[in-house]
Amino acid sequence: MAELRPFRGIHYDREVVGDLSRVICPPYDIITDEQRSIYRGRSRYNAILLEQPLPFVEGSSPEHHHDGYGGAAAVFRQWLGEGVLRVDDCPAFYLHDYHFAYQGRRVRRRGLTVCVSLQPWYGGVYPHEQTTSKAKRDRLELMRACRASFSPILALYEDSDGDVAQVLHAASGDAPLVEFGDAGERHVVWAVTEPELTRRIRELMLTRSLYLADGHHRYETALAYQQEQGRLFPGPAGMSGERAFDYAMMTLVDFADDGLLVLPVHRLVSGLSESTLLGLENRLQESFALEHVPLSEGLVDGSVEKMLDGVVVGVLGLAPQSLVLLRPREDAPVGDMMPRNRFHEEGYYSLSLLEHVILDRTLGISHDAGDIAYSADVGEVYQQVREGLYQLAFLPSPPRLEMVRAVADARNKMPRKSTYFWPKAPAGLVIYSLDWL
């Protein structure tokens, strides 16, 4: 089982940077080029400079000194030296209450940010999604340069008896380390250092498996970095007598937490020929039953969830002003088009049908092709197809947490970008140094 450790977290000094809501940002993999510019404009101390640095361009002007992995490392060291970032005096667990709005209601997600001992898959840590080498190369280069993790991996655990929740409730009775936010969201963070509380948390979590929700690439990168550093420093290292690179920073959330939301990731497709589009509906009818739902005023998240319940996928762009719902046909041999080791859990099977039967076999494009884009925002997807930026959009039904756990327990993996846990744990809220615990 994975072991938890408190660590000396690094965080922004409010007296130096001012409003903390202006210096945190989402994790690297969901930030678009447009959003990158927005976050850079919020503050010259925004964590985007560390979490997602721009590629370095030879001969670039001085104002771009922070670009590239080496630039991010230089900025990180500069901020530590100038007191923009400060290191806590003693190791702690960091309890994080994330308050936000979703579909007109206020929600709180409670997470515990900790160090978790790195284990090979299924040694206490369970994945549920496939990964790609490109993202892992990017994260590894950043980790090598900065020797730190700027955003936590999000993992889930089972607390059916409520024992962990009881300890975390006791920890939240003290004054918070930081509290900030705006009209949209609010963050409250406690540094849990009381020995009895940290001992009890470690004891309770030692027997529980952790299921990765978000951050598969970062976990595999941490494993690769551990192997590299282990060859260089084979003995115990670090201020506590242990090696910090043997651990990964994670935010742990209870499966039953009311604020734990998992959304589908929609596929947007471009680059299809006119002949492919003209014959697509007939080819889809060979494997699926099609139902056309007229759309008069776009799509709203809540209505989409109801329409997609029990279907394989919804398609935008196939018919004018309609969402075309695809349901499986019992007389269609779609099973022959699927991988032999397919997992038959309902939600997973639908995603596999989308990837292998529709995108791969029917359209002839792979999951990793440049002609596919991804978004969890239904309104954005609808607008982009309507404006002709993409020809088609495929809308999977919302995944269920039970499906995520079932796939992981079966030691199977869903296609990349099958789930979108929202909101993302922010980068820059707590930073983990790989040089000390």
DSSP secondary structure of 301-342? HHHHHHHHTTSSEEEESSSTTEEEEEEE-TTS-GGGGS-TT-
What pTM, to 2 d.p., does this model score?
A: 0.91
The residue range of the domain holding 326 is: 266-417
Dump pLDDT digits (tens) for 101-121: 998 899 999 999 999 999 999
Cβ neighbours around 208 below 10 Å, total = 17
Q: Are residues 306 and 214 part of one domain?
A: no
> 238 and 381 in one domain?
no
Mean of the pLDDT values across residues 280-290?
A: 91
Cβ atoms of 286 and 279 within 8 Å: the answer is: no
pLDDT in tens, 186-235: 999 999 999 999 999 999 999 999 999 999 999 999 999 999 999 988 76
CA-based nearest residue to 55, from 36, 71, 43, 42: 71
In a shared domain, residues 315 and 396: yes
Q: Are residues 155 and 298 in the same domain?
A: no
Nearest to 285, CA basis, from 328, 338, 337: 328
Secondary structure percentages of the chain, helix, strand, coil, to 5:
35, 25, 40
**204 and 105 in a common domain:** yes
Could you tell me which of 129, 131, 112, 348 has the C-alpha nearest to residue 208? 112
CATH code of the domain covering residue 382: 3.30.1760
Is there a contact between 245 and 437 (Cβ–Cβ < 8 Å)? no
pLDDT at 59 over 90: no
Q: What is residue 239's predicted lDDT score, i.e. its pLDDT?
A: 39
Mean pLDDT of the chain: 89
Do residues 212 and 126 make contact, with C-beta atoms less than 8 angstroms apart?
yes
- 77/113 same-domain check: yes
Cβ atoms of 291 and 298 closer than 8 Å: no
pLDDT over 70 (residue 340):
no
Query: Is residue 203 domain-shared with residue 314, that is, in the same domain?
Result: no
Other CB atoms within 10 A of residue 433 CB = 21
- Verify that 171 and 203 share a domain, yes or no: yes
Give the Cα separation of 187 and 3 in Å (integer): 26
Q: Position 402: which residue type?
A: E
Cis? peptide before 55, omega within 30° of 0 = no
Same domain, 254 and 355: no
Q: Which residue has the tokens 């950043």?
A: 142
pLDDT tier, 345 (very low <50, low <70, confident <90, very high otherwise): low
Query: How far is 120 from 128, CA to CA, in rounded Å?
Result: 14
Q: How far is CA 58 from the centre of its chain?
A: 32
Give the C-alpha separation, 38 to 19, whole Å. 16
Q: Does 374 share its domain with 360?
A: yes
What's the pLDDT score for residue 101? Answer: 94
Residue 402's pLDDT band, with cuts at 50, 70 and 90, is: very high
**Same domain flag for 227 and 330:** no
The answer for residues whose C-beta is within 8 angstroms of residue 44's C-beta and 6 or more apart is: none
* Ordered alpha helix ranges (H), 147-266: 163-171, 195-205, 216-232
Q: Would the pLDDT of 62 be above 90?
A: no
pLDDT at 297: 62
Query: Which residue, chain included where needed, has tokens 């990793």?
Result: 368
Q: Which of 184, 149, 217, 361 is nearest to 276 (CA)?
A: 361
Question: Do 252 and 326 share a structural domain?
Answer: no
State how many domains the chain has.
2
Q: Are 186 and 179 in contact (CB under 8 A)?
A: yes
Distances from the Cα of 140 to the Cα of 227, 228, 370, angstroms: 12, 10, 23
Predicted pLDDT of residue 154: 98
Give 364: exposed, middle or buried? Use CB within 10 Å, 0-12, 13-18, 19+.
exposed
- Both ends of the chain: CA-CA distance in Å? 20
